[in-house]
Amino acid sequence: MLKTAPKFYEVAKRIVEITEDCIIVAHNSDFDYRILRTEFKRLGFGFKRKTLCTVELSKQLIPDQPSYSLGKLTRSLGIPVSDRHRANGDAMATVKLFKMLLSKDLDKYIIKNSVKKAVTERRLNPNHKAIIEALPPETGVYYIHDESGRIIYIGKSKNIKHRINQHLTETNTKSKKIQLQIASVTYEKTGSELVALLKESEEIKRNKPLFNRALRRNIFTQALYSHTNEDGYVVLKIDKAVGDKKPITTFSNRQSAKSFLFKVVEDYNLCQKLTGLYPSEHACFNYTIKECQGACVNEEPPETYNQRVNQLIEKYSYENKDMLIIDKGRDFDERSVIYIKNGIFKGIGFFDLNYQITNTEVLESIITPMNNNRDTQHIIQSYLRRNKRLKTISL
């Protein structure tokens, strides 16, 4: 295989070019880096680069694995590998492993330290145009750093390049402050807007960036609740979201909650009076035009009416459910997965093969654990309402 391969001195210049201003990522990077430096030393060239080791990062971010060799680790995580022990096969496997490690690094240890080293060495006076040009027009989460590498703002966007351009050209007070402190921008592609929303929410809470603090109010105020009245009918009601009551679903404002309720009344043929849309002591308006089957005046039996209400509740609430939400991935052949177990949001992950989500042990190893709270519940429920064609799998 090496018989016709070029000599090291023939490719040395290209290696310098493609690694300039880069961090070399490798599985057991000390070994690979030592070989490179030795070969350059023989040519009389002092080759020096920053490195990241996926063995060390894996031990930190995916603990308790039986082995951290590339072959066994990728197998236990369900990462597809072709051409094992060949340069291209091992490199692509390391890329997929590193992507998984980046998504599991919720505290942003990797990018904070990488940015800090790069900025400290180059003493960048940031050029806003250069920052924007280096960003992709894709969906994901972005991190704005100051000169020390500290994250000062976290956001999500369907077009990262466009959003950063807005930050650097807008004239509001927050944008002006960001413009004064920005030294670099890192990003993480998610493909899925839902994954980006969940990562943004989680990582703002963990990292508490300077310019996100004003945004940490609840992102919803209204909720849909249900109870059974004295006649045996399940009644739906919009009310303020409170911590000790379990809602069916939540909303950013009262108007969006009412719009949703009007739509489901039509879709499920429900009574306007029993959903709070037509306050009356007698029949609702729809009953007078023959579009309500008479639950408001006890004509329709509670059993048949409640059956339709419960279908609605089943669709829009994931309480006590074991399910996966499948969405776009970061690449064409990849998908994202949101894992809900017994009605509790467990985390997110990315997969290439169905085997990775049908095998529970592998599924739980590729999932980045996240906190289940009212914000995440609202994000998932509102996204499911807006994206009715989204694929969900019941476990």
214 has pLDDT over 60 = no
Residue range 253-301, pLDDT digits in tens: 888 899 999 999 999 999 999 999 998 888 999 999 989 999 999 999 9
- CA-based nearest residue to 271, from 236, 247, 313: 236
85 has pLDDT over 70 = no
Residue range 359-380, pLDDT digits in tens: 988 999 999 999 998 889 889 9
State how far the Cα of 151 lies from the Cα of 181, in Å rounded to an integer. Answer: 11
Q: What is the pLDDT of residue 119?
A: 45
State how far the Cα of 132 lies from the Cα of 184, in Å rounded to an integer. Answer: 10
Q: What is the rounded radius of gyration, in angstroms, for the C-alpha atoms of the chain?
A: 27
Q: What is the pLDDT of residue 118?
A: 52
pTM for the structure as a whole: 0.67
Mean pLDDT of 205-210: 90
Q: Does residue 387 sit in helix, strand or coil? A: coil
Residue range 138-196, pLDDT digits in tens: 999 999 999 898 999 999 999 999 999 889 888 788 888 998 899 999 999 999 999 99
Q: How confident is the model at residue 218 (pLDDT cuts 50, 70, 90)?
A: low
**Category of 342 on φ-ψ map: left (φ > 0), alpha (ψ -120 to 50) or beta:** left
% of the chain with per-residue pLDDT over 90:
50
State how far the Cα of 263 lies from the Cα of 252, in Å rounded to an integer. Answer: 17
